[in-house]
Structure 1
Amino acid sequence: MSERIKVLVTDYAWSTLEPERDILSSIGADLIVAEDESETTFVKHAPNVDAILTNWARVSTHVIESAIKCQVIVRYGIGLDNIDVETATRLGITVVNVPTYCLEEVSDHAMALILSLARKIPRLDQEVKKRGWNRNIGPQMYRLRGQKLGLIGFGKIAQLIVPKAQGFGLQVMAYSPTLTDERVKKFNVQRVDLEKLVTTSDFISLNCPLTPKTHHLINAQRLQSMKSTAYLVNTARGDIIDNNALHEALNKGWIAGAGLDVLPEEPPSPDLNLLDLDNAIITPHAAFWSEESIYDLQVTAAEEVVRVLTSQMPLSLMNPEVLQNSNLRAKIE
């Protein structure tokens, strides 16, 4: 009798893995759920698995090198900064993501942060709950219509933000090294360079991936060059912002406020200085969440595992160069 297929789940943020179990059972696969998110635990399980499903946990070089049978690593989500893609490619392992995941949710959350900052919703709510009735606390409020929103990055999420922001009368500018004339025309946005976007936007939304080039893209120099009435929103990755510089910017009034759904360390240390600031709205990496988005994510990720393990091409192969490798593990036809 042949050995059953095994799929390692490194971590997940939802209540059940039943959708994955149901889909993977169609190929006789069993789920192995890691007991914790340590490299040691992953390395213990890695030699026996045919596939890895991972959410936020780090799938390191050591883990991948230990996964001697693994054919595919699927990210529960879009970004791949927690996976050593280079090592996976070198070893002939396909890396797959779920690019359609939570697009509506994250774009909605970015707009919610923009609106909450612009209208001072959290501050005013707390003022009333403290039995006050002062609407003039914090920075001045300005009419939203006619203000400028700058989008750094122009992928699927940023593209969904555009019509939502334009519905509130915001003028939308965009910066991305890959922004084409066709997309500028299609979405009716103004293409600008990064420095102009930073210095002229009333709101800046970060929607780019975390790469070596975007690490601390928003640093002290760029924060100082923003308008003092401007707001910064981040629903992308925490390390795109230098958070020490951001604390200084918020504390000294370089900018009016910030809305953050992501941080460099999650959950943050209790003594994180940003937690003490009234002009920072922080949510617990919740932008992706809805009942629909989570279910779709689970199903799509599991279906990608099934495709690769049954010799089919995955829908979202993120390292296509692996197909040219003589050591390609998957028997993709």
Structure 2
Amino acid sequence: MSKTIVVTDWDFPDLSVEQSVVADTDVTLVSAQAETPSEVIDAAEGADGLLVQYAPVTEEVLEALGVDAVGRYGIGVDNVDVDAATARGVYVLNVPDYCLDEVPTHALSLLLACARRVAQYDHEVKSGTWDWTSGRPIDRVAGSTLGLVGFGKLPRRLVDLVSGFEFEVLVYDPYVDAEEIEAAGAEKVSFGALLERSRFVSVHAPLTDETRGLFDADAFERMRDDAVLVNTARGGLVDVDALVTAVDEGHIAGAGIDVLPEEPPEPTPPLDHPNIVYTPHVAWYSEQSSTEMRRRVTEDVLGVVTGDAPTNPVNDPSGD
């Protein structure tokens, strides 16, 4: 019996990568642009597997469809009800390591752009102002303290990238042993110590009930007044209103933000803030990483719906 995989939503130029994966199989690929649970249900009726970008895969969706697998384009799976999937024997799949170069590189780019006031100077020059003093004071980057919130594969790659800056690297991650962190050339510290000691803080934690709103007004008040926050992880980790207030009031020096709680954002927060550099959730992207992500998650969903074991399961619906 032939199988069907439905792409619930996508913003790629086309689905040629996905089509190439299923081309020599009897699996049919169907595309949609669903934004709500009801639209997902309508689009994927009778499907054996889902490929999902932003569409919500709720308990209602899983109950209605009875699919074997849900593949999420990317690392995070916050738009998929993983517990509900597990309870129904549905695999949730992701691609945990497709952008090992791109995200750390982008985080470092934001860090340096903020530290060197690149966006401010660029705007001023294009507006007709040629004045190096407008960004004063700027302190030397080398020899600073870098705090990493979360210590998975991406921040470990960032440690490698910044080796030439001779940073003191601090790590807050309650799920990684101090010995493992020390072996990577960093020091395990509490969240409070990281805030108080770090000039640069780069966020790489998943969005969970435990981490949602981790960077709030209290956190910003504990940070150094020359601190720069970089977030390439999930928008919900940072209270953006509190962030803007903290920068305005001088609790921290600035921020580089690639992800927001709502994307695209509403008119607030003020996106023209001179000391906050924004990018549109692009840290994951290169042509190579995009192709790899799409190919691998499609291969994994295809494998599950045709009877193979998954390569990158987020959950264990078998109960073993």
TM-score range, shorter chain: over 0.9
Q: Which residue of 1 aligns with 2:296?
A: 300
**Given the alignment of the two structures, is residue 131 of structure 1 paired with residue 142 of structure 2, yes or no?**
no
**Given the alignment of the two structures, is residue 276 of structure 1 paired with residue 272 of structure 2, yes or no?**
yes
Q: Do the aligned partners of 1:7 and 1:29 also contact (CA within 8 Å) in 2?
A: yes
CA distance in 2, matches of 1:273, 1:18: 37
Q: Do the aligned partners of 1:307 and 1:314 also contact (CA within 8 Å) in 2?
A: yes
Letter in 2 for 1:231: V
Q: Which residue of 2 aligns with 1:47?
A: 45
Distance 1:323 1:139, change over 3 A: farther
CA distance in 1, matches of 2:302, 2:37: 25
Q: Do the aligned partners of 2:182 and 2:188 also contact (CA within 8 Å) in 1?
A: no
CA distance in 1, matches of 2:41, 2:217: 39
| Residue 295 of structure 1: how far off its partner (Å) | 0.6
Q: Which residue of 1 aligns with 2:68?
A: 71
Q: Which residue of 1 aligns with 2:312?
A: 316
Instruction: Report percent identity of matched pairs.
Output: 37
Equivalences, count = 320
Distance 1:139 1:232, change over 3 A: farther
CA distance in 2, matches of 1:264, 1:164: 28
Q: 2:168 aligns with which of 162, 167, 171?
A: 171
| Residue 137 of structure 1: how far off its partner (Å) | 2.2
Q: Do the aligned partners of 1:7 and 1:51 also contact (CA within 8 Å) in 2?
A: yes
Letter in 2 for 1:65: E
| Residue 220 of structure 1: how far off its partner (Å) | 0.3
* Alignment RMSD (CA, Å): 1.4
Q: Do the aligned partners of 2:225 and 2:252 also contact (CA within 8 Å) in 1?
A: yes
CA distance in 2, matches of 1:32, 1:139: 55
Q: Which residue of 2 aligns with 1:103?
A: 100
**Given the alignment of the two structures, is residue 156 of structure 1 paired with residue 166 of structure 2, yes or no?**
no
Q: Do the aligned partners of 2:212 and 2:238 also contact (CA within 8 Å) in 1?
A: yes
Q: Which residue of 2 aligns with 1:10?
A: 8
Q: 2:284 aligns with which of 288, 307, 325?
A: 288
> Which consecutive segments of 4 or more residues in structure 1 shift more than 4 A?
none
What TM-score, normalized to structure 2? Answer: 0.96
Q: Do the aligned partners of 1:46 and 1:63 also contact (CA within 8 Å) in 2?
A: no
CA distance in 2, matches of 1:306, 1:46: 15
| Residue 21 of structure 1: how far off its partner (Å) | 1.0
Q: SS state of the match for residue 24, structure 2? A: helix
Q: 1:204 aligns with which of 196, 201, 205?
A: 201
Q: Do the aligned partners of 1:165 and 1:172 also contact (CA within 8 Å) in 2?
A: no
CA distance in 2, matches of 1:307, 1:257: 45
Q: Do the aligned partners of 2:8 and 2:44 also contact (CA within 8 Å) in 1?
A: no
- 1:182-331 correspondence to structure 2 within 5 Å: 182-269=179-266, 271-320=267-316, 322-324=317-319
Q: Which residue of 2 aligns with 1:37?
A: 35
| Residue 136 of structure 1: how far off its partner (Å) | 2.3
Distance 1:317 1:35, change over 3 A: closer
Uncovered stretches (5+) of structure 2, i.e. residues with no partner = none
What TM-score, normalized to structure 1? Answer: 0.93
CA distance in 1, matches of 2:157, 2:136: 28
Uncovered stretches (5+) of structure 1, i.e. residues with no partner = 326-333
